[in-house]
């Protein structure tokens, strides 16, 4: 099967089309879910798609080690490769790893300055210019302040990259706005372009768009996470 | 007297070079009255520490080979397995990890968790080994055990719990405050052998209480009894130990001890911890394979002395006592004069003499039981063999990686030639990752191993221990080749030259196979190829593997499916089907888009943050794929996949690029596609060789 076809049929395309062609460079998206539902898997799924398009991906984690994040990618890549019946798997994985960098921090020692500095080294020494960035575990919306969100926005624009972050929703006791977005996130409405909720149902995880740039009515997606592979799939 | 299995502790001491592992081992042997004088590693007094039994190690100040030594503490028998500190000798470390039930991870209070500690820790995790940590060198300037504990949590993701706090640090380091007893301990006497317990000094009281609370919180998770007792304020020492033990055995917590082995502080308390917290042999599940069973099923070993014997030879040593084989008994009993069955070779061997090593002194014993580690004299076997009473059982095969680098060695004269042969024979028995081959083209002797340093150490040993004058060639990388897409074959082998002819026809597919070297499957039905010829087909395909048609390197990662074929009642034979398989392979392999695979190492470089750019640069120049960066308190660790071919001489480059402030470790990761330039070069060379009629 010609490669282009494969990408065209990818559920990620559907997702992107639903949010006006994608998050957009220089903009910030948030994936919401309860603990353990699959925020990281969802984001890595998007990252893998970007990587298979030859884009450069920077994955920042304040919770997991480099090794653990890498294993996560390997796992999802293998599932995806099985799904797509990819040829030249080893070669593809090699290319993909060349275009991906994982940055791990202790939550305590993380700061935007350090991040900026590390990315500076990456651009200089490795000519690594990321266009798709995952910030997993940071900023923490419950605690963050305006200046930090401003900082993330500035970096997104400077790098000219799509930046995806994540935030937890709680089972109860959390206040949300009319769209179902927790107020911790709504506070920073001005900085966030897209909000996606991974809604865990009895036997699957439904992907719902809660905010799509400035559009009034957001698309109702027929996508979900496959519970066994954690990949995005049709409902 | 056999030992009570519940009072045996088989433990390893694992550490980064220079964190003082050998000194610690020395002190342990001293306090357990196994040695009567202490020496330093780098041998100021020319004697050297006892555990470093090899001259080379003594010189380099590092411990390369794992030696097992026994001692007693508090009514318990400890078997210390000294795991090597250098990751290039991974198989040595892994072999030691297989036989130990628990481990002490030694860390330097100044340097903390270094890249090598991370590699060693990763290996221990793979073998599910419960660990204690010992933060050594608290007397050094810059010592900060709290920071090291924090690093254990952050860098190694251990739930590290301090059971002690220091009584002073650096030059003032004077002893330990035990948070379980809530007493301070000083170590008096020339060698710290006299422990004096006293009240906790008032200025440290508050901190001790706060840290004890943290420790109790961590321990209480593993014991409802302790949780209640904490609430009712009636905690006993026994309750704490029991809870900590549960947490340690579940590998949910890592208790942290501290002190200074060099200054004789804290070692006895660590030994108490070993006895109280680490598992006895019955608390660890070990499995073996039943080779008599068709599926080679795994079954758990019982640890019972009354069951048939299963013992694992994990280390060979040739020294003052002749050929020694260290074995760990997993069940059954071993007596002097017994006859053992080696399930790999099928041979029987007699145990003429049985002993226990106490560092370099041997104690003769007459019997040993399950759980113990003992040495057999003069038994011919290879390391990794399983001995039983007669059953064909094998302990879970230890993962033995294929060697990735080779170099040619030539002896200068006849005498050296002889000694070289002796040395090579010995090393191949001792170390399964060390191989010897003859280069079919040049006739040179090739030695193969897991890295440059790995082979260098053996070259040194050849020169020193065996007195052979040898020259070594440049290290070479062991390439492989494979196909990247499935191809179908339909091949007829036919020969008619008077007399009986040869005829065989086979049809099927050859596919890329991930994660294994070779697989053969017959899907033939209806007897189009008679069953008796199927093994001949497999043999024919296998015959093609050592020298691939693409560039002449070993083929890996292919699956052959034979689906159909034809035969002739008179002209078909084993030979004919083998020839057909070879012909089919040769014919269609080039259509499978063959590529060259090269060994890729996982390289971890650690150094001060300001060198991040330089470190990255050195890795990028070596075709490295920088996988990730971990930042932590001014230090940065960069993980990269780098082709082994580019790593020769890296140590020097890194040192000069970072003023000696960065260090690296590497481990074989996998075989990965080599770049087009390498493929083209190898293809050209292979074509030339073939044109020259060599093959």
Tens of pLDDT, residue by residue, chain A (235 residues): 345 555 556 777 778 877 777 888 999 999 998 888 888 889 999 999 999 888 999 999 988 888 889 999 999 999 888 888 877 788 888 889 999 999 998 777 788 988 998 899 888 888 899 999 999 988 888 888 889 999 999 999 999 999 999 988 887 778 888 888 888 888 898 999 999 998 888 778 888 888 888 887 777 777 888 877 778 877 6
- Residue A84 is predicted with a pLDDT of 81
Which residues of B have a CB under 8 Å from any CB of A? 122, 154, 157, 484-485, 512, 514, 595, 597, 612-614, 616-617, 620, 625-633, 637, 639, 641, 672-673
For residue B439, give both structure tokens.
Answer: 């280069």
| Contact predicate B411/B470, CB 8 Å | yes
Strands B322-331 and B373-377: antiparallel
Chain B nearest CA to A4, separation (Å): 19
Q: How confident is the model at residue B36 (pLDDT cuts 50, 70, 90)?
A: low
- Which pair of structure tokens corresponds to residue B639? 């993980």
For residue B97, give the nearest of B71, B66, B73, B63 by alpha carbon: B66
pLDDT of residue B421 exceeding 60, the answer is: yes
Helix axes B202-220, B224-232, angle to 10 degrees: 140
Q: Convert B488-513 to b/e letters by CB count within 10 Å (16 or more is b).
A: ebebebeeeeeeeebbbbbbbbbbbb
Please state the ipTM of this predicted complex: 0.85
Predicted confidence (pLDDT) at residue B46 exceeds the cutoff of 70:
no
Instruction: Please give the pLDDT value at position B393.
Output: 85
State the CATH number of the domain containing residue A18: 3.40.50.300
pLDDT at B47 > cutoff 50? no
Are the C-beta atoms of B433 and B40 separated by less than 8 Å?
Answer: no
pLDDT for residue A81: 86
In angstroms, rounded to a whole number, what is the distance separating the alpha carbons of residues A188 and A150? 10
Using a CB-CB cut-off of 8 Å, the residues of chain B touching A121 are 612-613, 616
Interstrand relation of B8-15 and B518-522 (parallel, antiparallel or unpaired): unpaired
| Residue B241, CA distances (Å) to A62, B8, B273, B320 in order | 33, 18, 9, 42
Query: How far apart are the C-alpha atoms of B606 and B639, rounded to whole Å?
Result: 9
Q: Please, what is the Cα angle at B167 between B165 and B172, to 5 degrees?
A: 135
Instruction: Give residue for tokens 């002796």.
Output: B422
B119-145 pLDDT tens trace: 677 777 778 899 999 999 999 989 899
Average pLDDT over residues B249-259: 93
* Contact with chain B for residue A82, Cβ under 8 A: no
The larger pLDDT score, comparing residue B644 to residue B33, is at: B644
> Cβ separation of B595 and A91 shorter than 8 Å?
yes
Residue % of chain B over a pLDDT of 90: 41
- Cβ–Cβ below 8 Å for A87 and B484: yes
Q: Using pLDDT thresholds of 50, 70 and 90, give the confidence band for residue B89.
A: low
- Mapped onto helix, strand or coil, the DSSP state of residue B204 is helix
Whole-prediction pTM: 0.68
Map tokens 């300001």 to a residue. Answer: B610
What's the DSSP call for residue B4? Answer: P
**Cis geometry, peptide bond prior to residue A139 (ω within 30 degrees of 0):** yes
| Model pLDDT, residue B537 | 95
pLDDT of residue B67: 61
Residue B72 is predicted with a pLDDT of: 85
Residue A150, domain extent? 3-234
Give the pair of three-digit tokens for residue B48.
Answer: 């050297």
d(CA A229, CA A221): 19
**3-class DSSP assignment, residue B541:** helix
Q: How far apart are CA A226 and CA B473, in angstroms?
A: 54
Per-residue model confidence (pLDDT) at position B359: 65
Residues of chain A with C-beta less than 8 angstroms from the C-beta of B597: 90
pLDDT in tens, B532-573: 999 999 999 999 998 899 999 999 999 999 999 999 988 889
Question: Does the structure show a pLDDT above 90 at B39?
Answer: no
Residues in chain B within 8 Å Cβ distance of A87: 484-485
Split into its structural domains, chain A has a count of 1
Residue B493 pLDDT = 93
DSSP state of A29: E
- Domains parsed from chain B with CATH numbers: 5-283 (3.40.50.300), 287-395 (2.40.30.10), 405-474 (3.30.70.870), 484-593 (3.30.230.10), 598-677 (3.30.70.240)
Report chain B residues whose CB lies below 8 A from the CB of A106: 154, 631-633
Using the predicted structure, report yes or no on whether residue B102 has a pLDDT greater than 90: yes
pLDDT over 90 at B428, yes or no: no
Distances (CA, A) of B650 to A98, B316, B622, B642: 21, 32, 9, 11
Residue to substitute from A72, A79, A126, interface B, most B β-carbons within 10 A: A126
Taking CB atoms and an 8 Å cutoff, what residues of chain A touch B621? none
CA distance B544 to B520: 13
B326: nearest Cα among B240, B402, B430? B430
* Cα B506 to chain centroid, rounded: 43
Q: For the stretch B295-322, what's the b/e string if a residue is b when 16 or more beta carbons lie within 10 angstroms of its beta carbon?
A: eeeeeebbbebeeebbbbbbbbbeeeee
Query: What are residue A149's phi and psi, to 5 degrees?
Result: -65, -40
Q: Which residues contact B543 (CB under 8 A, 6 or more apart)?
A: B578, B581, B582
A16, A53 Cβ separation under 8 angstroms? no
Report chain B's mean pLDDT, rounded to a whole number: 85
- Per-residue pLDDT of B319-338, as tens digits, reads 667 778 889 999 999 999 99
pLDDT bracket for residue B184 (50, 70, 90): very high
């Amino acid at each position: 099967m010609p490669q282009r076809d494969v990408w065209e049929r990818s559920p990620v395309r559907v997702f992107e089309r639903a949010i006006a062609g994608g998050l957009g460079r220089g903009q910030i998206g948030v994936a919401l879910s309860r603990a353990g539902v699959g925020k990281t898997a969802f984001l890595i799924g998007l990252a893998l798609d970007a990587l298979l398009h030859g884009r450069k991906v920077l994955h920042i984690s304040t919770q997991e080690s480099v090794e653990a994040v890498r294993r996560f990618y390997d796992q999802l890549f293998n599932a995806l490769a099985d799904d797509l019946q990819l040829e030249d798997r080893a070669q593809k994985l090699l290319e993909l790893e060349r275009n991906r960098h994982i940055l791990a921090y202790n939550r305590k020692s993380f700061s935007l300055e350090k991040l900026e500095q590390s990315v500076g080294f990456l651009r200089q020494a490795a000519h690594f210019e990321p266009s798709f960035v995952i910030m997993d575990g940071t900023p923490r919306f419950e605690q963050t302040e305006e200046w930090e969100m401003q900082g993330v926005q500035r970096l997104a624009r400077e790098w000219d990259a799509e930046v995806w972050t994540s935030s937890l929703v709680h089972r109860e006791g959390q206040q949300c706005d009319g769209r179902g977005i927790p107020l911790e996130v709504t506070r920073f409405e001005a900085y966030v372009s897209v909000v996606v909720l991974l809604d865990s149902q009895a036997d699957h995880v439904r992907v719902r768009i809660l905010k799509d740039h400035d559009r009034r009515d957001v698309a109702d997606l027929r996508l979900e996470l496959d519970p066994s592979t954690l990949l995005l799939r049709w409902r | 007297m056999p030992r009570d299995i519940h009072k045996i502790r088989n433990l390893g001491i694992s550490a980064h070079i220079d964190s003082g592992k050998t000194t610690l081992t020395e002190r342990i042997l001293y306090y357990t009255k196994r040695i009567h004088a202490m020496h330093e590693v780098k041998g100021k007094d020319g004697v050297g520490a006892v555990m470093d039994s090899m001259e080379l190690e003594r010189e380099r100040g590092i411990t390369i080979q794992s030696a097992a030594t026994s001692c007693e503490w508090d009514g318990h028998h400890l078997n210390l397995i000294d795991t090597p500190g250098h990751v290039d000798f991974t198989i040595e470390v892994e072999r030691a990890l297989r036989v130990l039930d628990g481990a002490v991870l030694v860390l330097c209070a100044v340097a903390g968790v270094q890249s090598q500690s991370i590699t060693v820790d990763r290996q221990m995790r793979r073998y599910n080994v419960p660990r204690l940590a010992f933060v050594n060198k608290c007397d050094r300037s810059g010592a900060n055990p709290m920071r090291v504990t924090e690093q254990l949590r952050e860098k190694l993701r251990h739930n590290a719990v301090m059971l002690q706090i220091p009584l002073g640090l650096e030059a003032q380091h004077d002893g330990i405050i035990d948070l379980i007893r809530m007493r301070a301990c000083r170590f008096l006497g020339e060698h710290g052998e006299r422990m004096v317990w006293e009240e906790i000094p008032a200025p440290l009281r508050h901190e001790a209480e706060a840290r004890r609370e943290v420790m109790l919180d961590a321990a209480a998770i593993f014991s409802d009894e302790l949780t209640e007792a904490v609430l009712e304020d009636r905690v006993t020492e026994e309750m704490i130990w029991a809870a900590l033990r549960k947490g340690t055995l579940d590998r949910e917590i890592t208790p942290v001890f501290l002190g200074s082995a060099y200054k004789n502080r804290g070692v006895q308390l660590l030994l108490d911890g070993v006895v109280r917290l680490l598992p006895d042999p019955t608390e660890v599940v070990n499995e073996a394979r039943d080779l008599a069973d068709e599926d080679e099923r795994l079954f758990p070993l019982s640890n019972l002395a009354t069951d048939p014997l299963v013992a694992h030879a994990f280390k060979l040593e040739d020294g003052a006592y002749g050929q020694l084989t260290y074995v760990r008994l997993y069940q059954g009993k071993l007596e002097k004069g017994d006859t053992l069955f080696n399930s790999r070779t099928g041979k029987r061997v007699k145990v003429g003499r049985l002993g226990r090593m106490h560092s370099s002194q041997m104690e003769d014993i007459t019997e040993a039981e399950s759980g113990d580690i003992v040495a057999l004299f003069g038994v011919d076997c290879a390391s990794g063999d399983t001995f039983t009473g007669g059953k064909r059982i094998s302990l879970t095969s230890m993962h033995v990686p294929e060697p990735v680098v080779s170099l040619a060695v030539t002896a200068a004269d006849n005498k050296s030639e002889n000694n070289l042969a002796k040395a090579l024979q010995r090393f191949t028995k001792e170390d399964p990752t060390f191989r010897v081959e003859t280069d079919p083209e040049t006739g040179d002797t090739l030695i193969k191993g897991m890295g440059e340093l790995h082979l260098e150490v053996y070259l040194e040993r050849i020169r020193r221990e065996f007195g052979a004058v040898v020259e070594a060639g440049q290290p070479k990388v062991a390439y492989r080749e494979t196909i990247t897409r499935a191809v179908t074959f339909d091949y007829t082998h036919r020969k008619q030259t008077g007399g009986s002819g040869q005829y065989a026809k086979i049809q099927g597919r050859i596919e890329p196979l991930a994660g294994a070297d070779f697989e053969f499957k017959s899907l033939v039905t209806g007897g189009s190829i008679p069953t008796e010829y199927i093994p001949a087909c497999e043999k024919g395909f296998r015959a093609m593997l050592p020298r691939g048609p693409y560039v002449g390197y070993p083929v890996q990662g292919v699956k052959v499916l034979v689906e159909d074929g034809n035969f002739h009642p008179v002209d078909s034979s084993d030979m004919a089907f083998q020839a057909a398989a070879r012909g089919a392979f040769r014919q269609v392999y080039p259509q499978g888009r063959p590529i060259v695979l090269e060994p890729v190492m996982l390289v971890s470089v650690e150094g001060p943050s300001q060198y991040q750019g330089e470190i990255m640069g050195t890795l990028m120049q070596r075709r490295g794929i920088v996988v990730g960066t971990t930042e932590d308190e001014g230090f940065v660790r960069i993980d990269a996949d780098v082709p082994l071919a580019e790593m020769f001489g890296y140590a020097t480059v890194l040192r000069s690029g970072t003023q000696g402030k960065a260090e690296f470790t590497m481990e074989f990761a996998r075989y990965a596609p080599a770049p087009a330039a390498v493929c083209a070069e190898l293809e050209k060379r292979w074509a030339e060789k073939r044109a020259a009629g060599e093959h």
